[in-house]
Every structure is written in structure tokens, then in C-alpha cells.
Amino acid sequence: MNNREKMYKILSDVLGIDINAIDGSTGLENVESWDSFNVILLVSEFEQAFNIKFTMPEVECFKSVKDITDVLKKRNVEFLD
């Protein structure tokens, strides 16, 4: 599994959404289960999966998949695309 697949798998698991329907725009605006507890859960699972610790300011702007990808990239998690 590459990092994007890993990330989408977690998103799909935690939010209970179809993995094929996930793209950068997936987020608070269009996913009902994107609530504050699930964001915390996503943070915990990503930290576990990528062996990093996010900062609070980073987490505060997790409003879409793109936001999360941007932070992960800054943290040197490599995405092929």
C-alpha cells in the first residue's frame, strides 16, 4: 500500500465512506461524519500509521482531505502524485 492508499483507507474506515469517492475536496463541507470527534480519531490513526505527531495548529485546519495531504507532505510523507 502506498501512502495515499494508506491514508484513504483510514479516511474510509473512520468516516464510513466509500474509498473510491474520496478525493482532495472530500471534507467538512460534503461529509456528514466529518465531526470533531472523528477528526481527532483521524489524527490519532494518521499519527499511528505515519509515525508522526501533528501540532495543534496543523490539526485545527483539517477541513478537507487536501488540507491533511498538505500537512503530511510538509511532514515529509511522500505522495507519488
The binding site for other proteins (CB under 8 A) comprises 10, 13-14, 36-37, 40-41, 43-45, 48, 54-56, 59-60
Smaller CB separation from other proteins, 15 or 77: 15
What the block records as the C-alpha cell of 24 is 482532495
Half-sphere exposure of 65 (CA within 13 A, CB side): 20
Closer by beta carbon to other proteins, 25 or else 28: 28
Cβ closer to other proteins: 59 or 75? 59
Residue 38: strand, helix, or coil: helix
